[in-house]
Each structure stands twice: as structure tokens, then as C-alpha cells.
Chain A
Amino acid sequence: MKFRAKIVDAACLNHFTRVSTMIAKLAKTCTLRISPEKLNFVLSDRVASGGVSMWCELEQENFFSEFQMEGISAENNAIYLDLTAENLSRALKTAQNARALKIKLTNKHFPCLTVSIELLSVSSSSRVVTHDIPVKVIPRKLWKDLQEPTIPDSDVSIYLPVLKTMKSIVEKMKNISNHLIMEANLSGELNLKIETELVCITTHFKDLGNPPPASEDASQERPPEQMAEVHVDIRKLLQFLAGQQVNPTRAVCNLVSNKIVHFDLLHEDVSLQYFIPALS
């Protein structure tokens, strides 16, 4: 099992750093899946994460000038590593003025992802920063739980408003109740509601637009005004929104009534899918 990659372009490095920072905000520990063409950050639906799951995908050739990997075997040419997301994010942040950044899978007393950064320096000497991020190698038999999630058939699919706005609203609502109702319809309307004994607060977003339906039949069946509604834990929604520092290129929210909220985002060339289950 081998992995070695290198980034030399400053823009690619910054982009990769931003992705890792976003992941660190979304999950404490997650799985890094390395395959010949892609890198994925995966959080699988587990009790520990409260049922939230995440699948973030990027094409390695958009970031790395060099990329070599060898999985467990030829048939299973992938590597699955569990790591603390914040470690990777912190390590990459120290590469602000880097000439080159290398990532390698190593075994220094325990398996590590070694990030080695050659810094630009005023003097002729070079400076090297090395971070050894401890990782846990995930055995093949557990890989089945970490595959790309199937997109559920949603009742309503809608484009999201500016995420920063959504976040500041949800943040205020969090002080009142943990139980948030997300509802949307095919007329481009999205509502965020909280209801307590004393007060009900609803924020209405209008004219958001809906992505074109997957099939003609699906859209005709459903009346455009009818809301699909999901009750979620507000903290999970807030954690998701807090992770989005930059407004994505494309942001779609798919609601399966009373089941799940599925966020499908595209940040330039990095795709992120995030699932929040309905409160039981």
C-alpha cells in the first residue's frame, strides 16, 4: 500500500487547504478514500455522527502535479484511512508560502499521513515543515459501509439561498429551539420554521428556483405549491452551514418528506453531498 502526491501550484494548494478546512468543520474524524483518480472525504451514517453522512469528492488531477497510489491489491485498488480532519487542515494551513507540498503515507511507529512542506524563504536556505498525521488504516471488510451514497428520490429539489444568510438565520433560531422544520416546494419557496409553546418563527425564502426534474412524470405528479417537510436537529444543520466559508458554485437541497435532507453542493470542482436524517 503506497501513496505519494505532490502539489506545486499555489492556487491548487489554497483550494485544497480550503477543502480540508471545510471538512474539518463538518466532521471531527472522517475517512479519506484514496483511489487512482479521486480523493474522497467520507463520513458514514453512524450513531457517533448522529446519522449524518457526507461524501466529498475531488479529482486528484485538478490538484496534484504528481499522484501515485497503490491500494491493497490490484482488484481493490484503494486506500481507506481514518483521520482527525482538523490535523490535515492545520497541517495544510502552515503551507501558506510553500514552494512545494508532498503528502505520503508512511509508517513511523504507526501509520501516518506525512505532509512535508518546503517553504519559500528569504535567505538561500530552505525550510522544511513536516507534519505526521496519525491515521488508522481501514480493513477491506469495512469498505462496504464507506461507498458513495445512493441519491434518494426526493419529493422536492430546490436551489438554496446564499448560505451565509441561511446560517445567520439558523444561528439565531438555535437559541430558541433545537427542532427545526425545513420545508420547500416546487415553486421555489423554502421555509425554515421553529415552533415552541410560546412562539413560532418562520423565515420564508422565495424565488429560489428549482432544478429541472429528473423525469417529466415526477414533476407533473406533484402540485407545485405542496411543501415537502423534514424535521431536523438544528445543530446538525448549523454545523453544515458553518462549514461553508465560501458560497458554492451550485447548491441544491433535496427533501424526502419526513425522511432526510440531502445537500448537493459544488465548490468549483469539488463536490460535496451531505445528508441530515429526520428527527425520529
Chain B
Amino acid sequence: MKCLVTGGNVKVLGKAVHSLSRIGDELYLEPLEDGLSLRTVNSSRSAYACFLFAPLFFQQYQAATSGQEALRCKILMKSFLAVFRSLATVEKTVEKCCISLNGRSSCLVVQLHCKYGVRKTHNLSFQDCESLQAVFDPALCPHVLRAPARVLGEAVLPFPPALAEVTLGIGCGRRVILRSYQEEEADSTVKAMVTEMSIGEEDFQQLQAQEGVAITFCLKEFRGLLSFAESANLSLSVHFDAPGRTCHLPRPAIFAVKDSLLDGHFVLATLSESDLHSPALCSPELHRLAPPLQAHSTPHLDDFASDDIDSYMIAMETTADSEGSRAVPSIPLSPGLRPPCSPGPFSEDHEAEPSTEPGTPPPKKFRSLFFGSILAPVHSPPGPSPVLAEDSEGEG
């Protein structure tokens, strides 16, 4: 295999590697007929990312030397990233980047031809590997939204960099809503601040989704693709299927960017809707989340009836004990980790959905639904992987 990248494309390649490094620790490199593919998956198999660079992206592209089988290799992400560590330097000094792999050597050679005749050669050891292929198809997702990366970049700006998960949904008036998602811990007395960003439909190039649908996914992982899309000035599309009538179990969301020379896909697992304790975007509360906006600054008479702090205050005064300690009445939230099997809008079709028992592995309720076996074709497994969820007891 031999690929030669020149000019501005070197930085694009570097940016893609940076994005991939936000997801996984190993980079799967595979030269294909339709281009060079770079893929990665995270350790919990809840996030998969891939970039495919078309042959035209390269000044020279040779997938395999004639007669030989195309080589696939797996490299440490850290090593490959080190080549493109400082994008600013890459942009300023690198004129050409040559990536080559031949069957005889045990190294992937990345050679940077820089200004002033400087040549940097990186010999990265690799492992042979199977093809990493996640099972997903954007076409199967009924809901799509697409916007310039800049719009989405501005949309996530109010959220703290440390925020792990975010809920994306369609609110009243076809507004797109992003809301910080916090896992409710039953015993925590300190509640976290909830931030919500509401964007009008007009800012989107495509919005194919009904009001009320929502998904929750890892924001940190999404930011990886977002920063790539922003730097390349591309549009980003989100394909998803929210749990509900059409699917009972959460399907991963597919985030995609595309232009004539490359395409990128980030496939992120989504949280199952039944795990959402905070007012879900699908609930009737929705109508309160996106009040109709007043274009002018004339004070619009807020209806304080819904901001009923008084009854809460009354409850507080009577429960305060004699020492005068601050008694905060316990907030009735859905009990613990076991979601109530309450009649929701989707319960007619409700099968025995396994709930997350307290004994399950650490906080992430994301499930890897889209990796059957690496080599297996189309069918996603009918239920969540047995490792992550135990059967519920007498549920449904």
C-alpha cells in the first residue's frame, strides 16, 4: 500500500486522526478500493468511528501492490497521533505525507516531507487484524437532522466541557433541543445544573423528525466529529431512531459528514429511554420546555402559576425540625435504578424489557447493540448483550 497526501489535505488527515483519538485507543487502517479507511472503536464498544478517504484525496493512491492482498493493520492510536500531534506545526511545515505498508516490513511507514528539506520518518509497528466493521445503516433511521457544523458547534457551546451526556430532541414548534443529561443518583443531595439549548428549525438544512423524539448520547465522543466538521467546514447529519413505536430498544445514533473526497461516520450508542429519570423530551412536559418566543422586548406576562414555589415553601416550613436545620423534602423521583413499568405512551407494545439492575457494571447504561460479531453481516442482535443486562424479574 502506498498513499501520498499533499498540501492542505495533510492537515485534514491529521484532524481526522485527532477526532478518532477521542474514541478509541487503536486505529484500524485498511486500504480499500474506494479509499483508505481509518476506523476505531472504544473499549466498551459503545462508540465506533470511521473515516474513508477517497482515492482522489491523495496525490497518489495504491491500495495494494498487484498480486498481493490488501493489508489490514491495527496500530496504537497514540503512535499514529504522535505523527500529527501539533496540527499547527503540520499546517505550517509539512508539504507531503507518505503512508506506506509493504508485506515484507513489519512497520507502517509514515514519512513527512517538510520544508527546508526536512524529512521525518515514523516507523509504526502494527498488528495484522480482522476488518473492524460495525453494523449500521443510516438509511434505516427514520429521523434525520442536518446542519452546518458551525450551528452545532454553537449549540454545544453552553455545555461544560466535562459534561458526559446530552439529550437531543425535537421540541414544541419544531425546535431542536439539546439538554444536559445527568444521571440521577438517588442518594445525592446536590443536584446538578441543567442546561438546555433550543435552536429554531430554520437553522437546519434538513429536519426529518417529529416533535417529541429524543436520544441521549455521549457528548464527549460527539465533540470529536464536531471539531473535525467545523475545521473542514462541512455539514453534519444525525440519523437516529428514538425508542418508541418503531423500536423498543435503543438504536445507536449515526453522525455523518461527507464531501467529495471523504466521509466520516461516528456511531454512538444511545441511552434507553426508560432510563431517563429527568423529564424526557417525549413527556408532556415538553410543552413547557420551549415557550413561544417573544421577538420584542416588551415584557410578556409570565404566568407564574406554573412556577409554584409557594406550595413547596409551605412544605418546607412544616418539615423543618426544631434545630432549624435546613430540611429539604425528598424529591419524589422515579425510585432508584429500576425504572417503573408505568403506562407510558409506548407501553402497548411493551415487551419484557430488561431493566438495569443495581448489580450491573458501572454507570454507563449504554449498550453495545450494533456489534454482532465483527465478521457477521446484517442482523443486529435481538436484545442487549447478556453481559450488560440481566433479565428482569417478573417484569412486563
Contact = CB atoms under 8 A, between A and B. Distances in A.
A146 B263 CA distance: 59
B377 interface: no
Interface stretch (B116-124, B133-141, B307-315): B307-315
B312 A107 contact: yes
Contacts of B299: 6, 66
Contacts of B312: 107, 111, 137
Interface string B195-209: 111111111000000
A111 B299 CA distance: 23
B320 interface: yes
B193 A126 contact: no
Interface residues of A, number: 44
A173 interface: no
A109 B324 contact: no
Which of A72, A94, A123, A128 is the most central at the interface, judged by chain B CB atoms within 10 Å of its CB? A128
Interface in A109-153: 109-111, 118, 121, 123-134, 136-142
Nearest to B150: A122
B110 to A, nearest CB: 40
Interface stretch (A48-56, A83-91, A237-245): A83-91
Given A8-B297, A118-B293, A84 B324 contact: no
Contact of B160 (A8, A90, A108, A125): A90
Contacts of B316: 137, 139
B361 to A, nearest CB: 28
Interface residues of B, number: 43
Contacts of B327: 139
Interface in A186-217: none
Contact of A127 (B190, B199, B317, B326): B199
Nearest to A113: B193
B193 A134 contact: yes
A136 B331 CA distance: 12
B104 interface: no
Given A1-B313, A124-B202, A132-B193, A142 B158 contact: no
Interface string B261-300: 0000000000000000011000000000010010101010
A200 B199 CA distance: 60
A251 B299 CA distance: 38
B198 A111 contact: no
A131 B199 contact: no
B328 interface: yes
A142 B324 contact: yes
Contacts of B196: 129-132
Nearest to B160: A90
A127 B194 contact: no
A136 B295 CA distance: 33
29 contacts: A1-B310, A2-B304, A2-B307, A4-B304, A84-B190, A84-B193, A87-B193, A91-B193, A94-B157, A94-B195, A99-B297, A104-B307, A107-B308, A107-B312, A109-B278, A121-B203, A124-B202, A127-B155, A129-B198, A131-B194, A132-B195, A134-B193, A136-B326, A136-B328, A137-B309, A137-B313, A138-B326, A142-B324, A142-B326
Interface of B: 154-155, 157-158, 160, 190-203, 278-279, 290, 293, 295, 297, 299, 302, 304, 307-310, 312-313, 316-317, 320, 324, 326-328, 331, 333
Given A109-B331, A127-B200, A136-B328, 16 more contacts: A2-B307, A8-B297, A82-B326, A84-B190, A94-B158, A104-B302, A123-B203, A126-B293, A127-B199, A128-B293, A129-B158, A129-B195, A129-B196, A137-B316, A139-B316, A142-B326
